[in-house]
Structure 1
């Protein structure tokens, strides 16, 4: 049952051994490239030195990958997949974990939206405004709480300045994407004088329906239990596009800081409005199934019989405070403070006869605060202590509200320590947390959680190390897992929670190899990352497809339950520098998961896991321009879970290019991204809508960016 995925391990081992001789010695250069510390570590460490696998997407790489959703932006990162719900929603899946096990942060604080309550709820993050995105794979509960048992995605936005710019500067960008006729514009402006620094940004994007090769709804005629999908295909389908996937969003932020030699204190406010459609087919009412329609793009599907579209109208206002004080002490380093308040709501708009009326309204009034103090005595140990408090007042109101209102309070304290001796580096951590969930009616639940971690690194050379890590963590069930009871129209599922769910307990073992010497040249500059992980989760919480149907809504019934599960896999990449500015990257990742106990009539496969992926990228980097050709093959997912459908294999080919030039003395960039050049039908195994909304077909995105 616990057999390791041999192909994934072979990829990891092959990539590591392929460069072992090339990186056994270290080269030095006269110039040094500054290393940027990642914020996911409170101890000011560069990503290359963090024991847990960390990826940082920033600069030109982020600008190339940036899309309208967070999941789509990160889909090409090692160990990260996209749980799409049409073009308006894309949530990150890390090593097969998503939703309540992946913590999405806005500058180290929870986004506090409703994206973890349902797969049709978008994250309140605009990737086009991000300065960088940090992805921490594996358990990260020590610093961020029980919701980070699968990993962390930290979006750094720079809304609160930490330093006063020498002069006012900014950037503006315009882009167009043929995949859905999307137009997007972004601006960023910052400046200051004396001790005062300020910041402004904004984004506006609008798109139509997503273009695809072939039909949107894919029926599995060989599975009688999925007759609903077949009926939907007969009742309504779209050819060449996914109906009701248009979207419009706008966001703006302002920040202000007072900066001194010993630290800073600042605040920011952000307003986000996002209106997007839920793909047609998931919510067709059965009484209209006698009307058969296959629409061509350009028709107004809202006026057609047999389809009642659903849209999400999302709005949030977020306020943040951030401060830091550096001590003039031989022991204490600094103290940092964060406070965030998010007033979030979205309404499910239900269409009928070309008009929309309000359905279920979701609200989340949330606070979170964090205080951290770090120390470095200049001796054996350095470390951090932290305290985190949060409150979420969540409610779903309406005739089809499937979650009862509740208040979730959390308090957690943690400590992280590290020390070095010789070529060895040791990281230790511990966290205690209490989570209380108090529903509007019914008994509350109280959970005491403990997390412990340890990681040991051995540096073969300055830029090359082996690591082994062991983490034990616990996660409390959230409100929807405990108290859901009702039909969710947008998902076409009837969800039933279990108020007696136990907390999850995870034990994760990680082995890794890392080499990255950006100061070197030739083969010594090869960048290698390989990780193998094994994660045993007791009382794993998931929504099981029961195979039954609710008589009133005619939706499939999903019930939350505890079931022991084991996740294991590997991920690896190696980038070889070639002659004439060329480079070749080989990459692959895989995760397998199964339930430890057998239940009659239930599959032992954990549902909606990403398949094995592998591929290569060939790129060129020259004085004024660069390009990359990326080819990714995803195998078929033959273990979809109980009453779920398999997905076919696909090969995705992408090509990106950009040219840098001067415009009136300012830096400017023209870029173009050609995606899915083979026009493959791509249905993501991680998506609940894989049978209704495939990924976009062949498309080109082009734009211009000006820095001033």
Structure 2
């Protein structure tokens, strides 16, 4: 049965019923003013109700208004300032005046933490990109937006599809979330499939490095990227609108985005949308896979748009909200292009006839969300909450005007949690997590079969403070069931056997258990140590189990764990038992977060039993042809003429990954700041050999100057040579990228305006991304200049 939004109705009915009861805690309206030590207003300072999702931002005069319970605690923070906590009950009047001192790191609430943790309080390493910094780093893909963070790289399938790599892990090991729920696209199956989430209308992006399986399931064994927006409002905000337009020279990019929030009495609403269009990206001169010299990345154009809206009923008892979003996107797929046809066209023809240039993807996604929270519904429980999403995803790959392959994914996900009051010193949440998906692939490149996935899980997170120590414990038990159809386990030698050849329906199930323990020690003011130890189990994904076909994007023939392959190219059903990956991870973190000099230092060690990876079998698709019936062979030759893809067979072996991440900032003066970071990861099989496409060591430095009306940044990033490579993999040379940015702030009538300019890759450096499947054919974009304007009113 297809997932249905009606599955949400019991929880919605529960919320509505409790809303109709008597008010238990009275809210008050709090007005305030936020200033620096010199008495100047701090614009965009964040005021957050501790332990809840409610927050507002100060206006240009430093003023704010927020609704909060009478016994609430407010957390006030701003980038470049030390933060403060203020109890509403202790306020002398309804007009708060708060002064923040310069220096130190801003505490940011991590929505994906599960217990309203601030980033500096978590045992697991976490990075958050928000505010002006997020706006400056926004790129068309999430991977490219985040790649400058310590411990984060991009798998880079050209500028059109780039997913984040966390500590050398990506694909099904990194969960991409939108407001805490899976993005439900097919980006985890192939690197040429774009992530549907976009940073242009996002409020913050959270990156949890290391296993985060307790809340988000076995797919988060490598980490979590949570894209947070306000499409389902969780707080009442004064009416505000932001409009942004930008133009970039490197791909003739034109982008426009709008976001509007508002609230009146008990109703809050949100609307956002964007439109982005580019041509093929300019790159430094290089020689492509056909020996031709070019300065453009063929088939790398984009035409993306999205619209989202939400409405919430918010009272002092809780909230009930609904959201809807629609994505309509088209993008070229590098590696599928026809070189000669493209080079015969001039630039104008290329702009107007993208669809004739080569294979491109057409994506449509509709997403419906429903969420609710109940505050203090009964004794012992602080909050009951649920968050659900129903997603309809469809993705056509089109060549020559005809649909070649279609990917579909209908999914439903719901998480229900109960946050309890402190009991015997422990405070935490217990919850239930449901995920269902119905995946279909139809056409020439349908290398994965149709499959249905059902996952049910129970989890618990608890924490307790012991003086300067805070202990954090968690556990999760998860049941995953797969049903796949159309599985063909054998290729016969003789044509007579073809009539007896039939497909099978298969079922597999796994039980994955995970547990973690963390300790945070605030050993002196402004410093803490954090230790996290976890054991995380991951069930193989449906694609890793059942793949059987040519994957043009990676130029490989992928064969899943469910199959056996002999030395002659004969495919049969595997008799080997499937095993879960078991990751035993240790993270040690040292932080200094007060004063002019701040830093974060992470060391990690991850021992993975039964690590699942694609091993080069030494065979090619030509070795399979002798075992295929004549009709299939002819069709295959027609589709892949001249291409002898290597056969990569999923295997399991023990592996070890370890490394370090370091980031520091030094406030030279009130206006000037220096930053530096470096990260590294080493990943190898225990029986010898390196894992493929592991990112190189990355180091970077930055300088920023912030005046009253303008700011400027210089960022330099160096990617070192990667020569620790897997069998059949080539080394990748080093390169460095220099970026400049400038912003000017001014007012026009009632408009707060920001004009900005950026220069990316100012030196026009030729760089190839080692973690990319098509690194030799898809260098990074060359020199590009961006101009933009943002207006708030």
**Shorter-normalised TM range:** 0.7 to 0.9
Shift of 1:620: 0.9
Shift of 1:201: 0.7
After TM superposition, the structure 1 stretch with the greater mean CA deviation from structure 2, 323-332 or 583-592, is 323-332
Question: Deviation string for 1:522-551 (max 9, x for gaps)?
Answer: xx2322100000001111112223343212
After TM superposition, the structure 1 stretch with the greater mean CA deviation from structure 2, 201-210 or 45-54, is 45-54
The match for 1:78 among 150, 154, 159 is: 150
Question: Deviation string for 1:671-705 (max 9, x for gaps)?
Answer: 11111111111111111110111110111112000
Shift of 1:142: 0.4
Matches within 5 A, 1:382-401: 382-401=427-446
Matches within 5 A, 1:679-698: 679-698=764-783
- State the match for 1:233 in structure 2: 290
User: Quick one: distance in 1 between partners of 2:466 and 2:389?
Assistant: 39
Contact 2:307 2:327 in 1 (8 A): yes
- State the match for 1:319 in structure 2: 368
Structure 1 position 433 matched with structure 2 position 478? yes
- State the match for 2:658 in structure 1: 568
The match for 1:346 among 395, 400, 419 is: 395
- State the match for 1:134 in structure 2: 206
User: Quick one: distance in 1 between partners of 2:423 and 2:345?
Assistant: 69
SS in 2 for 1:128: coil
| Alpha-carbon distance change, 301 to 555 in structure 1, aligned in 2, over 3 angstroms | farther
SS in 2 for 1:279: strand
Contact 1:216 1:242 in 2 (8 A): no
SS in 2 for 1:48: helix
The match for 1:95 among 167, 184, 191 is: 167
Question: Deviation string for 1:380-436 (max 9, x for gaps)?
Answer: 111110110010100101133111100010001110111111111111111000111
SS in 1 for 2:113: coil
Structure 1 position 485 matched with structure 2 position 548? yes
Contact 1:84 1:90 in 2 (8 A): yes
User: Quick one: distance in 1 between partners of 2:649 and 2:283?
Assistant: 33
- State the match for 2:646 in structure 1: 556
After TM superposition, the structure 1 stretch with the greater mean CA deviation from structure 2, 536-545 or 698-707, is 536-545
| Alpha-carbon distance change, 643 to 295 in structure 1, aligned in 2, over 3 angstroms | farther
SS in 2 for 1:72: helix
CA-based RMSD: 2.2
Structure 1 position 505 matched with structure 2 position 567? no
Number of positions where the alignment pairs a residue of Structure 1 with one of Structure 2: 643
Matches within 5 A, 1:665-684: 665-684=750-769
- State the match for 1:358 in structure 2: 403
Contact 1:161 1:266 in 2 (8 A): yes
Structure 1: stretches of 5+ with no match in the other structure: 1-25, 218-231, 518-523, 599-603
The match for 1:471 among 526, 530, 534 is: 534
User: Quick one: distance in 1 between partners of 2:664 and 2:198?
Assistant: 30
| Alpha-carbon distance change, 361 to 44 in structure 1, aligned in 2, over 3 angstroms | same
The match for 1:186 among 253, 257, 263 is: 257
Shift of 1:631: 1.0
Shift of 1:660: 1.1
SS in 1 for 2:200: helix
Structure 1 position 309 matched with structure 2 position 386? no
Structure 2: stretches of 5+ with no match in the other structure: 1-81, 86-97, 486-503, 563-576, 623-636
After TM superposition, the structure 1 stretch with the greater mean CA deviation from structure 2, 238-247 or 100-109, is 238-247
SS in 2 for 1:382: strand
| Alpha-carbon distance change, 200 to 308 in structure 1, aligned in 2, over 3 angstroms | closer
Structure 1 position 56 matched with structure 2 position 128? yes
Question: Deviation string for 1:66-97 (max 9, x for gaps)?
Answer: 11100011011110001111221010000001
Shift of 1:579: 2.6
- State the match for 1:143 in structure 2: 215
Shift of 1:343: 0.2
- State the match for 1:223 in structure 2: none
Please, what TM-score do these two structures have when normalized by structure 2? Answer: 0.78
SS in 1 for 2:189: coil
| Alpha-carbon distance change, 295 to 509 in structure 1, aligned in 2, over 3 angstroms | farther
Between Structure 1 and Structure 2, whose CA radius of gyration is higher?
A: 2
- State the match for 2:64 in structure 1: none
User: Quick one: distance in 2 between partners of 1:185 and 1:302?
Assistant: 19
SS in 2 for 1:317: strand
After TM superposition, the structure 1 stretch with the greater mean CA deviation from structure 2, 662-671 or 547-556, is 547-556
Question: Deviation string for 1:150-188 (max 9, x for gaps)?
Answer: 0000000110111222x3211000001112111000001
- State the match for 2:789 in structure 1: 704
Matches within 5 A, 1:619-638: 619-638=704-723
Contact 1:433 1:449 in 2 (8 A): yes
Contact 1:241 1:297 in 2 (8 A): no
User: Quick one: distance in 1 between partners of 2:554 and 2:346?
Assistant: 24
Shift of 1:144: 0.4
Matches within 5 A, 1:526-545: 526-545=597-616
The match for 2:450 among 400, 405, 423 is: 405
User: Quick one: distance in 1 between partners of 2:201 and 2:522?
Assistant: 36
Structure 1 position 337 matched with structure 2 position 382? no
After TM superposition, the structure 1 stretch with the greater mean CA deviation from structure 2, 58-67 or 557-566, is 557-566
SS in 2 for 1:67: coil
- State the match for 1:516 in structure 2: 593
User: Quick one: distance in 2 between partners of 1:358 and 1:27?
Assistant: 55
| Alpha-carbon distance change, 296 to 697 in structure 1, aligned in 2, over 3 angstroms | farther
- State the match for 1:31 in structure 2: 99
After TM superposition, the structure 1 stretch with the greater mean CA deviation from structure 2, 243-252 or 328-337, is 328-337
| Alpha-carbon distance change, 36 to 614 in structure 1, aligned in 2, over 3 angstroms | closer
Contact 1:69 1:126 in 2 (8 A): yes
User: Quick one: distance in 2 between partners of 1:292 and 1:193?
Assistant: 57
Contact 1:326 1:333 in 2 (8 A): yes
Please, what TM-score do these two structures have when normalized by structure 1? Answer: 0.87
Shift of 1:515: 1.7
Shift of 1:645: 1.7
| Alpha-carbon distance change, 216 to 409 in structure 1, aligned in 2, over 3 angstroms | farther
Contact 2:342 2:357 in 1 (8 A): no
User: Quick one: distance in 1 between partners of 2:619 and 2:744?
Assistant: 56
Matches within 5 A, 1:359-378: 359-377=404-422
| Alpha-carbon distance change, 293 to 362 in structure 1, aligned in 2, over 3 angstroms | closer
Contact 2:449 2:546 in 1 (8 A): yes
Matches within 5 A, 1:162-177: 162-165=234-237, 167-177=238-248
SS in 1 for 2:145: helix
- State the match for 2:320 in structure 1: 265
Shift of 1:296: 8.5
